[in-house]
Amino acid sequence: MHASGADQVEEAVADCVAALGAVTDRDWRAVRAGRLEWTCRETATHIASDLIAYAGQLAGRAQNAYVPFEITLEGSEEGLDPADNEGALHVITTTGALLAAAVRTTPRSVRAFHPYPFRHANREGFAAMGVTEVLLHTHDIAEGLGIGYEPPADLASFVLTRLFPQVKPGPTPWRTLLWATGRGELPGREPVTAWRWSNNPVLRSERLTLEGVTPAAAADLSLVGDGGFAWVGGAAADGTRKGAGNVVKQYEEGVFHPEWGMYVLVRREDDLAVGAMGFHGVPDGDGRVEIGYDLVAGARGQGYATEALRTLSRWALEQDGIRTVAAVVDHENVPSQNVVTRAGFTRVSEGMGQISYELLSYELRG
């Protein structure tokens, strides 16, 4: 079953508190947290701050900036004493519970502001970001205090398959995550000196939201799951499952690029998925990229494929160096031929039972 992330937030926080609870008698203010410039105490405050900030973004449906508030563990003008280390862990537990609650109660389709890379994230993205902050900074604090720490492998995998889609899986999820965030080494890979996570891309057409598929969602779809979507007719079409399998293969090979991957087509009026559309891979050296698509039977004949194809093709041809979007359609698939024709593609060749179509960048400008 595809996870939305609330359980993972709670698990990560519980793991953090269990690990650091054994060293609350140490002076967290006097020790740097691993490779960070912050002290262990400042890093603990940062964990709590991120958890409550992400909960606030979701609960407040923030669209253009962060909700303008902050959390402090250092007392206040009213004379409250600063929280001790046990108090800091209590705050982390509380803010983690608030994020988990926000994830559980936020509708699947809601996206709120986050600056990188597409200026928005859904509930699953905020959950994954929260888990990332907890895991990595618990590691930093543990390293600073000289204790061992390794979280459950499924939590590191949860993060990697949602926020690090371009990172090729390594020997273990936790070692891979540490390497990907500049905290460790992996054999045969260059050290990471700068990094950022990546939430999934989203495009919008008149009636549809085109939601980029993460490796996590693709793996679930390829195994006959729903990928976290509610589908018209109850299930994704076979072509969608095949495309999801290709995404998984690309991810495992370290050649997956989310913007040039697969998008699920979600009808905004009822948040039901009607099909999928995507690129077969990144553009080639000539600026050519091939596109494919598939609709569930109950959503055909309503113009969704044409609408989505226009949107995704236009986006592609607006990217630097992209000159051609191509589509190959089986000779007997007349409805699909009509889709590409209505979307502005031109028939360029025919052979081996298939017809090739292209949409060129100058045609779009025209």
pLDDT of res. 365: 53
pLDDT of res. 76: 63
Cis omega before residue 258 (within 30°)? no
pLDDT of res. 363: 64
Residues in the chain: 366
CA distances from 320 to 201, 203, 256, 315, 317 (A): 17, 18, 19, 11, 8
- Distance from the first to the final alpha carbon of the chain: 46
pLDDT of res. 2: 86
Q: Going by DSSP bridges, is the β-strand pair 121-122/262-267 parallel, antiparallel, or unpaired?
A: unpaired
pLDDT of res. 157: 98
Neighbour count for residue 228 (Cβ, 10 Å): 22
Low-confidence ranges of the chain (pLDDT < 70): 76-79, 362-366
Q: Which helix (H) or strand (E) holds 223?
A: none
The token pair that represents 144 in the structure block: 């600073």
Q: Which domains does the chain have, with CATH numbers?
A: 6-180 (1.20.120), 202-365 (3.40.630.30)
Q: Is this structure's pTM higher than 0.85?
A: yes
